[in-house]
Amino acid sequence: MKSYRMPDPGEGLTEGEVVSWQVSPGDTVKINDVLCEVETAKSIVELPSPFAGTVAKLCAEPGETVAVGEPLVMIDDGSDDEPEFLVGHVAEETGRRRRRRRAVAVSAQRAPEEGGYPVEPEPHYDAGDAHTDAEIAPQERSAEPRAREDPPRMDRTAHVLAKPPARRLAADLGIDLAQVSGTGPQGAVTRSDVKAAAEAGHDAARDTGVSRGDAELANMSVMSRRLLGGAPTEPDGHTRKVPVRGVRKVTAKAMKDSLDTKALVTAFLTCDVTPTMELVNRLRADRRFTGLRVSPLTVWCKAVCLAMGRTPVINAAWDDAADQIVFRDRINLGIAAATPRGLMVPVVRDAQDMTMLELATEITRIVAIAKEDRLQPTDYTDGTFSITNVGVFGLDAGTPVVNRTESAILVLGAIARRPWVVGTGDDERVVPRWVTTMSLGFDHRLIDGEEGSTFLHDVAEILSDPASAMLY
């Protein structure tokens, strides 16, 4: 009998929550068969079996939090020893084989409800989808987009073919997969199928007069449903108490630490970005960008990297322990993402060396990963500067909290058609232009007002006239 214990996920994390089991007592498993999905504060990962045998006991229920080193599952392999597996998942006799990572599809044909991008509303543009898909290791940059999707996996508990995102959405919405008709390959249930079932259930509930609480829950966002769905109503009938854990717990601590240690200020600048919108349209028509997400965010990322050449302190960090300012020559752009699990910031590494095509390719990949809730630690660590987009929510600006390991963050507002004065003297006139407001939050301990203002102005200059990038 062998006991497989919760492995150390790294990043200083000490526990994980069992999301779902892929095996049941009595099942026969082989080495590297997936045993369960575990959610840490940073990501959801599949845990493969480090040895073969028969599942004797599941030591934790779905939703239960297990500390690192505590038993997860007992497997009878015919032996009496019980080794501990705290790091790694492969037994010695397998020759240290490792599971192959799976690629993720980012083609233009991918439907928005399948983890792609939301359709941008008119009549205003946003600065690119800052929301952000399946487990994937960092890969070498390529101009060619990934085109292979994960095959559906059998949900053994319900005997339903469904990929993890569809099963997770069903759990969030309280949908029984066994009652959903699948329209995917081999009859697999897709996210679209789950959403359709939820909508049908909502309509039926409205027609039959369900409780007000259930109807309100059905209208909430996925994240709100996830937070409140399992929480019982208090005796007063008006409140619910939800434990703080996972991404919410980590985010709360990080934001509080940042506010406690940094001298945060925010600068604002409104600018005409019509030339940037024209450039985006040209890139979208370029066959080299086929299958990639091309949005104003792509141009913003390039502009940020160029502008930092004149104000490198924007990419620096304050070392409290050594009382030093650490200047970095690598720009790792964090793209703030509203995911079903909460706020995540996947990172585009070495952005300073990327062409526009490479930026579009990497942003497409990293956004798709976050959408599917499959970020790995290497996908969200070591960021040096962050960009967040409140424009997708229809907001013009915001006062952001800087990441605790960084010194500045850029907020992109909605891009909308507005009256704008152009020309000078007798040629001065008011015409409709694409206009946006940017906010730069920065740590005033190391970034002076002049440096912050210079950087923001340089970014605006590049966006107002992309040809001016030749000067940087």
Residue 20: pLDDT band with limits 50, 70, 90? confident
Q: What is the pLDDT of residue 263?
A: 93
pLDDT tens per residue, range 280-338: 999 999 999 999 989 999 999 999 999 999 999 999 999 988 989 999 999 999 998 87
Q: What is the pLDDT of residue 118?
A: 35
- DSSP 3-state of 446: coil
Q: What is the pLDDT of residue 132?
A: 38
Those residues with Cβ within 8 angstroms of residue 397's Cβ, 6 or more apart along the chain or in another chain: 268, 390, 411, 413, 437, 438, 439
Residues facing 433 on adjacent strands: 418
Q: Is pLDDT of 98 > 60?
A: no
Instruction: Report the range of poorest mean pLDDT among 10-19, 119-128, 459-468.
Output: 119-128
Q: Which residue has the higher pLDDT, 176 or 74?
A: 74
pLDDT tens per residue, range 446-459: 999 999 999 999 99
Q: pTM surpassing 0.85?
A: no
pLDDT tens per residue, range 254-275: 888 888 989 999 999 999 999 9
CATH number of the 248-471 domain: 3.30.559.10
- Cα separation of 304 and 299, whole Å? 9
Which DSSP helix (H) or strand (E) runs through 197?
Answer: helix 191-208
Q: Is pLDDT of 138 > 50?
A: no
Give yes or no for a contact between 89 and 47, defined as CB atoms under 8 angstroms apart: yes
- Cα separation of 209 and 224, whole Å? 22
CATH architecture of 2-94: Beta Barrel (2.40)
Three-state SS string across 11-33, please?
CCCCEEEEEEECCCCCCEECCCC
Q: What is the pLDDT of residue 315?
A: 96
Q: What is the pLDDT of residue 67?
A: 86
Residue 222: pLDDT band with limits 50, 70, 90? low
Instruction: Report the range of poorest mean pLDDT among 68-77, 85-94, 211-220, 279-288.
Output: 85-94
238 a catalytic residue? no
- Cα separation of 349 and 334, whole Å? 9
- DSSP 3-state of 402: coil
pLDDT over 90, % of the chain? 36
pLDDT tens per residue, range 61-74: 887 888 888 888 99
Give yes or no for a contact between 26 and 54, defined as CB atoms under 8 angstroms apart: yes
Nearest Cα residue to 170 out of 59, 24, 20? 20
Say which of 89, 238, 444, 457 is annotated catalytic.
Answer: 444
Q: Is pLDDT of 87 > 60?
A: no
pLDDT over 70, % of the chain? 71
Q: Is pLDDT of 153 > 60?
A: no
What are the residue ranges spanned by the domains of the chain? 2-94, 112-122+150-243, 248-471
